[in-house]
Amino acid sequence: MQIVITDGYTLNPGDLSWEPFYELGEVIYYDRTAAADIGSRCRDSNIIVTNKTPIGAATIAAAVDLRLIAVTATGYNMVDVGTARERGILVCKVPEYGTDSVAQHTFALLLELCNGVGGYDRSIREGDWQRSLDFCYSKTPLIELRGKTLGLVGFGRIARQVARIAEAFGMHVLYSSRSASVGAPRAVPMDRLFSQSDFISLHCPLTADNHSFINARVLFLMKPTAFLINTARGQLINEGDLAEALKTRRLAGAALDVLASEPPPPGHPLIGLSNCLLTPHIAWMSWEARHRLLTMTADNIRAALAGAPRNVVNL
C-alpha cells in the first residue's frame, strides 16, 4: 500500500512522528509538492495525504490504483471530490482537531484589536515610555468587552467555543447560520447580525454560494466602530472592498488569519494597513492540534483500509 504525503511540512515541521503512517504501508514523503510535480508524484499512489496540495481531476484520473485521498484538514476544497466520487475513491477529512486552538486564536486577534498589546510592546522598545512625561500613555483607545456584542457567522464547534469564551468576558453573542432553527435563541438574520454587532467573527466553510460574500454591501451594514475577524477561509471576503472600508475608516479594523491567496502576492491591498492585523494562517498550528490532526488522519486511513471508512465527504 503506497501512501504519498504531498505536503507534510506545515503539519509536522519535525516535532511530531509519522510512525502511525509507516505502520499502514510504504510512505513516500514530501515537505512540499509544486504544481508541476503533483501528477508524477501521485501517479502510483494508493493513498494520497494532502493538506493544501490541490488534487484535481487529472491527478485522480492518472492515479489508476488510487483508493483514498486523506485530507489533513477540515476544509477539503483543494480536492475534486466529484471526480473522486465518480471513480469510487474516498475522500476523508478531519472534522474536529483544532476547535480549542482556533477559538483561542480568534480571541488572541480580538484582544489585540481591543488592547493593542503587541503595539505597546513595540512602542516601549522604541523608547516611547522612557520619553513619556507621565507614568502611562495611550496610543490607541482601549476597549472593554463586557456588554459588547459578538456576531458569529456559522455556529459549528469552533463558533460555539468562541461563544463560550465571549460569554465568560460578559459579551452578548448573536449568530447566523444555515443550520439555525427559526426562532432559536441568539439566531438572527445575516443583515441584522452585521448591523448590530461590535465584532463579527467568521466560522463558516467556504462554498460556491458564499465566496466573497463579505463585500461592500455587507461591510456598509457594520458600525463604523466595529471589527471583522476571520479565522475561516480568506475567500469569504472581497479583499478589495475590505481594504477600502478600512482605509476610509468605514470600518474600525480587521484581524485576519487567512487570505484568499496564501502566501499573498506582493502589493496585497490589506498588508500594511494600520487597522488590519494579519497572522499567517496559524490558528490551527498549536502542537496539540497538529498532533490530533496527524493521529486522526492515520486513524481515517486505518478505518478505510479495514472497510469501515469514517469522516468521508463524498459518499
Phi first, then psi, for residue 294 (nearest 5°) are: -65, -45
Give the span between the Cα atoms of 163 and 168, in whole angstroms. Answer: 9
First-residue to last-residue Cα distance in the chain: 22
Q: Is 281 marked active-site?
A: yes
Give the span between the Cα atoms of 7 and 217, in whole angstroms. Answer: 38
Three-class SS of residue 174?
Answer: strand
* Cell representation of residue 163: 461563544
Residue type, 256: L
Q: Is 291 marked active-site?
A: no
Q: How many other CB atoms are there within 10 angstroms of residue 204's CB atom?
A: 20
Q: Which of 203, 233, 290, 292 is catalytic?
A: 233
Q: Which of 19, 26, 96, 262 is catalytic?
A: 262
Q: Which of 41, 281, 290, 292 is catalytic?
A: 281
Give the span between the Cα atoms of 94 and 265, in whole angstroms. Answer: 29
Give the span between the Cα atoms of 264 and 270, in whole angstroms. Answer: 10
Q: Is 239 marked active-site?
A: no
Distances (CA, A) of 52 to 33, 67, 262: 10, 19, 10
Inter-axis angle of helices 287-305 and 99-115, to 10 degrees?
A: 150
Active-site annotation, residues:
233, 262, 281
